Homo-oligomer: A and B are copies of this chain.
């Protein structure tokens, strides 16, 4: 692959990583689910051994969560392009949240910050790059 093709793929996958977090935090869950391929797999950072498989199943799982005001702060997004249609990535997530979703902003967050990472596989489809699988893990807790 040429450098510009590789960097373009990296940017596309990095955008997916950032959109995933923003869509999650803003409650735009159908947009989030659309980042996956139809048979995509997602294992949440706080439950890494129980992946949910299938775009519709991921959407249903996310919609079934109790209300929570969250911020998934993403960083260190490193994408490695394996070929024209395949890439992997790691990214760090710093997570703060509260169940107090109706309070005036800014709201006090729960007194723990979680720091973890996602490990992703991406594929290029006719509609562009999509998540094939995402697995989260939590590593450190502050507070």
Contacts and interface: CB of A to CB of B under 8 A. Distances in A.
Contact of A96 (B73, B96, B108, B142): B142
Contacts of A10: 11, 15
A140 to B, nearest CB: 4
B71 A21 contact: no
Please tell me how many copies of the chain the complex holds.
3
> Would you call the interface of chain A mostly helix, strand, loop, or mixed?
strand
Contacts of A98: 140
A111 B8 CA distance: 40
Interface of A: 3-4, 7-8, 10-12, 15, 18-19, 21-22, 69, 71-78, 90, 92, 94, 96-98, 105-109, 111, 113-116, 137-143
